Structure 1
Amino acid sequence: MLRPSAFTAPGRFWRGNLHTHSTRSDGVLAPEEVCRRYRDEGYDFLALTDHFIGAYGYPIVDTVPFRTNSFTTILGAELHSGAMANGELWHILAVGLPPDFAPSDSPGFLPKPGQESGAEIAARAVAAGAFVAIAHPQWSGLTLADARSITAAHAVEIYNHGCAAGCDRPDGAAIADLLLTEGRRLSLIATDDAHFSEPDHFGGWVMVKAEANEPEALLAALKRGDFYSSQGPELRDVAVDGDKVVVECSAAVSVVALGHGTGAKAVHGASMTRAEVPLQRLNDSPWLRVAVIDAAGKRAWSNPIWLR
């Protein structure tokens, strides 16, 4: 039986948002108020990731003063450098940056000749200890060639709530699945990308399995893939057992197993808390992932399980 590390690792699940903005860049609320709102909405941790460009003073916001005995923060930023295929600036999420991470030559939201590429700044962030994700692929207009170039990334945003609220472009699944099919061992994160200027908050999060709600433990668990992502539903266990995947979850109407190409199979029902999904229609995919959908249309996503 094969189970993702999120369901075998020691510890408990902690709820957190990894992509957030404040008045230190283009958000509406001050960092202290952003942290207060997430804390009082029941989140265990938050990464404030303001835009790392010269116009905002290359902020890596010190959120340490806003930690409590039940709420913590991880330092981070949304990095920008180099042009994608469409000529626009890269957006790369970096959680767990050191406070002295060196700025790129990125004065604003337009690419500049001679600056680092997206791949280079992502690799530099990983080398500095960060958990790095390709942000909002659909919103960015990311091509597969663009995504392939970010070889240092740990993850792809499978869902971005701010992009759902602001422009109906929240998806990262298509790019993620293509990268997985090419053998990239990536995890999948759901985020808010909250600016608090529209209903872009408390809509997508990660549930991280760690022994302590502390930045170092959470960051290490993120890098290992010891988490799942959600808009609401809970994943309680996922296990590949022979020719089926067995999923335990909060009440759902659909449980879906997805693999490469057209490989997918869904099981439907009412208030399902356990489902067995046969894998024959995954077309011998070397990987699979699970999506759970509740009666309100909210989803939860497992990280990919590598079968071989």
Structure 2
Amino acid sequence: MSHRLSAFTAPGRFWRGNLHTHSTRSDGVLEPAEVCRRYRAEGYDFMALTDHFIGTYGYPIVDTRPFRAEGFTTLLGAELHSGPMANGELWHILAVGLPEDFTPPHAPDFHVYPGMESGPEIAARAVAAGAFVAIAHPQWSGLTLADARSITAAHAVEIYNHGCAMGCDRPDGFSIADLLLTEGRPLSLIATDDAHFSEPDHFGGWVMVKATENTPEALLVALKSGNFYSSQGPELRNVVVEADRVIVESSAVASVIVQGAGTGSKGVHGHSMTRAEVPLARLGNSPWLRVSVIDAAGRRAWSNPVLR
């Protein structure tokens, strides 16, 4: 019996968007209007401005609605901070689709204070308020598996952060995501910019969201449903999981790799491949599978996991 990923069966079309961005309302260098203009000029269909939600910056949930235009929309959001994590630093939790009146935590700045709301608590509050919530840049944050386990309300893990890639060579969230998946957590996987425009941290990782229309409401429903994939450039066009293989259709790539729990993985390699069949014999009874494709320039696209 075959299973086709929901991103390729849901009605609508794909919309390209960035879910993690900063402006002068926190520690970014461009005004909100200019950040939105640049994403629109670069061909994005939507973006979320997610400035740091701490007292130093006035707990901003920036109103980007004035910067919407035909063919381009924005989602309101913020990067939430409270804590601490196991390493003694504040949590970084991405929340897209927050209401403007979301109650701030007691987070005057990036230091830890007695009696602060925990990371799991603020993540759960954000989900209850209607937001799509992701654990931000696990590698950069120094996140432990115990930390990650505690955020039970999150929809997703940020598996690629372009700003962390360019600024400190710590872009990865796959290790944490894969371990949580193996423990049965139904998570999706997002790639983002985390753009501050103070270094080459922009237009490097995005989500392709399948929705019937390019509106905040439709995009949020699709994000929460996992109807998207993430990319640095390549396009995923279909992913079908069968009993003994995964069939992947994409733009031209050089490698198609299927990963599963533990050491389970298998790749197929070639030239300008637009369709590949990856046998599953080496993945055993993995409770989940995900797909990576890599083009000749080394750019990747990643599917959401399939729970088996």
Identify the residue that residue 307 of structure 2 maps to in structure 1: 306
**What CA RMSD, in Å, does the superposition of the two structures yield over aligned residues?**
0.4
Q: In the alignment, which residue of structure 1 is the partner of 2:49?
A: 48
- Identity of matched residues, %: 81
Q: Match of 1:109, as an amino acid?
A: F
Q: Could you tell me which residue of structure 2 aligns to residue 90 of structure 1?
A: 91
Q: CA deviation at 1:278?
A: 0.3
Q: Are residue 268 (structure 1) and residue 269 (structure 2) matched?
A: yes
Structure 1 segment 156-305 matched on structure 2, within 5 A: 156-305=157-306
Partner of 1:3: 4
Pairwise CA distance, 1:111: 1.5
User: What SS class does the counterpart of residue 34 from structure 1 fall into?
Assistant: helix
Match of 1:114 in 2: 115
CA distance in 2, matches of 1:162, 1:112: 28
In the TM superposition, residue 112 of structure 1 has moved relative to its aligned partner by 1.3
Structure 2 counterpart of 1:33: 34
Report the alpha carbon displacement of residue 127 of structure 1 after superposing the two structures with TM.
0.2
TM-score of the pair, normalised by structure 1 = 0.99
Structure 1: unaligned runs, 5 residues or longer: none
Question: Structure 1 residue 306: deviation in Å?
Answer: 1.1
Aligned length: 307
Whole-angstrom distance in 2 between the partners of 1:140 and 1:71 = 31
CA displacement, residues 217-238 of structure 1 (integer Å, 9 cap, x when unaligned): 0000000000000000000000
**Residue type at the aligned position of 1:103:** P
- Cα distance in 2 for residues equivalent to 1:183 and 1:160: 24
SS in 1 for 2:14: strand
Deviation at residue 241 of structure 1 after TM alignment: 2.1
TM-score by length of 2: 0.99
1:123 aligned residue: 124
Shift of 1:283: 2.0
Take 2:67 and 2:248, find their aligned partners in 1: how far apart are those partners? 37
Q: Aligned partners of 1:3 and 1:80: how far apart in 2?
A: 37
Question: Structure 1: how far apart are the matches of 2:9 and 2:109?
Answer: 43
**Paired letter, 1:167:** C
2: distance between equivalents of 1:208 and 1:110?
35
Distance between the aligned counterparts of 2:208 and 2:214, measured in 1? 11
Deviations 1:116-142 (A, max 9, x none): 000000000000000000000000000
Q: Which runs of 5+ in 2 are unaligned?
A: none
Q: Does 1:12 align with 2:13?
A: yes
The amino acid that maps onto 2:112 is P
Which secondary structure does the structure 2 equivalent of 1:115 belong to? coil
Once the 2 structures are TM-superposed, how far is the Cα of residue 242 of structure 1 from its aligned partner? 2.3
